[in-house]
Amino acid sequence: MDSSAPFEKLRDLRDKYPGDELTQNYALTTQIPRRIRMDRRRMKLDFNRDIDEFALDAAIVVARHLLAALADQHRQIKSDNPLARMLWADLSDPEGYEGQEKARMAILKSFRENPKVASISFYALMESDEMLEILWGLPAFQLWHPTVMAKREGSQNWDKANIKNPAVLKKKALIVYDGSGDLGEHISKSFGVFLNGDVVQHWTSNEPVGLRVFYTNTARTAEPKKWRDLREIWVKSHGVKEVEDENGRVTRRYDQTGGPPKRYILLATVYLGAWKGETDRIRLYGADGGYVMLPRDALPYAGIEWSLGNSGDKYLLYYRLATLAPPAGGPGLEFVVHPKSVTQKIARMKAAATMKPEAQAQPETTVPELCTANAGLPLALRTTAPSTSAQPTARGGEYGKYQ
């Protein structure tokens, strides 16, 4: 992605509010990209272009909310390309509106020319190499602790394992979930002690601030997992704890109970409409788990026309480590209906065909089944989410080797 494009008028929030984390957070979570059109009379309706831009705007909004969940010292990313610039840009500054348009067009151009991206969608953008480097590479979003301990079976001596390709762990941190069982327990299965051949490996949670989940709702269960089932989850870290040995000496040993669970709450849910030729749509939640009503300009990629957990649909779920106690009045609502005037606007937008009729929907993409070939590795390393390209990502022995 071209980093030399002139976006000098696209002001950085960190420069506008230096050291003011709360004000930065407010801007990150209330501002959305502005759409401008120079001489719109000369423009023709381009459904695919609008869908691409809506997906990009939705990805920018969710990524900014994820950054706002991090403490200031843990969210410092380099603004050396248009995508990174948009994540930290002051989107409310009129002098930067043209810079926003240039940055967004540069981002879309880069993805359209990328042979690894089959088509532009929210999923393709959020799981792209660029986002893996910019956002998911932050330590606060890394699923596993960077140190993996290993030993030969029967040995008492633990040593640090050699991870051949640490970068692949960023991609594998996307949890694949089909709705079977409890999601928190499902994620917890990616941590603990595993026997891989004759080598025992201890993978522990990094206790990340954010988790990301690809939810397909394909399990044959009596009741599909809905928002009420997924709004909060509890994840065990499977770390070590201090215990006294038989001689009274304090030592650190693996906690076989998994340790006390950490509570995570939904930060965002995303309906992946692109799988069916529809618009991707986002829904956001605050630090208390309450529904966040986005500005009206976000209606093309937000809205209330969908609910989490519909059979056959696909979703991305983003969780944040809970920092507040559950609200006294209960969990709240999955979404809140807009005032009547806004509801009428939604109806007009639907009539403009942002959602395809059922008869025109594309065939559903096959969801990869769980891979059991590497049964000696943590669960998340044995599951594969769809690739952003036409060809699936090849799997190899890149997850760790004992030396």
pLDDT tens-place string over residues 189-233 = 999 988 888 888 999 999 999 999 999 988 776 688 999 999 999
> In this structure, are strands 250-254 and 262-271 parallel, antiparallel, or unpaired?
unpaired
| Ranges assigned E (strand) in 58-134 | none
What was the pLDDT predicted at 135?
A: 95
Nearest alpha carbon to residue 287 among 57, 28, 55, 40: 28
> In this structure, are strands 159-160 and 240-244 parallel, antiparallel, or unpaired?
unpaired
Taking a C-beta distance cutoff of 8 angstroms, is the pair 304, 335 a contact? yes
d(C-alpha 387, C-alpha 379), whole Å:
18
d(C-alpha 232, C-alpha 183), whole Å:
9
Amino acid identity, position 164 = K
Nearest alpha carbon to residue 72 among 8, 17, 142: 17
Can you give the residue ranges of every domain in the chain?
A: 1-141, 142-403
What was the pLDDT predicted at 254?
A: 74
Q: How far apart are the first and last CA of the chain?
A: 38
What was the pLDDT predicted at 35?
A: 74
Taking a C-beta distance cutoff of 8 angstroms, is the pair 169, 142 a contact? yes
Mean pLDDT by 10 residues, the chain (403 residues): 61 94 95 69 47 94 96 88 94 92 92 89 95 94 91 86 84 93 94 88 93 89 85 91 71 77 96 92 93 90 88 94 79 70 46 36 32 51 70 37 47
d(C-alpha 366, C-alpha 48), whole Å:
23
d(C-alpha 47, C-alpha 324), whole Å:
42
